[in-house]
Amino acid sequence: MNILKSIFRYLTTRYTKIQLLIILVIIVFAFFITESNIFARLGYDSKIRELNGQIEYYHNQTEQDKQKLEELESEKDQIEKFARENYLMKKDNEDVFIVE
């Protein structure tokens, strides 16, 4: 019990109150008032996670496109199939019907 009383007496001295007030002001200033406050930091972290997800998505998309390109470069039949499916190209003597 004496320990608690001595701690309470120390915390209630004039200089300790000033020190605690200064520390509190610094904490409030650092976390809430500055440009890089805690809320901005949380927003930046969220944006970083979102952008990392986009990086991973586009990296996977690039890999898929590279595989398609290799397939197209390897076989002439693949080029014709790709042109017919994606660009609706046809030969001169045929008709194309689009069914949706």
Checking if the pLDDT of 1 tops 80, the result is: no
Query: What are the residue ranges spanned by the domains of the chain?
Result: 1-34, 36-94
| pLDDT per residue as tens digits for the range 74-97 | 887 788 888 777 877 777 777 777
pLDDT, position 79: 82
**What is the C-alpha to C-alpha distance for residues 71 and 56, in angstroms, rounded to an integer?**
23
Q: What are the tens digits of pLDDT across the range 8-49?
A: 777 777 777 788 889 899 988 888 887 878 888 899 999 999
Give ∠ CA 97-99-100 in degrees, rounded to 5.
150
Is pLDDT at 65 greater than 90 in this prediction? yes
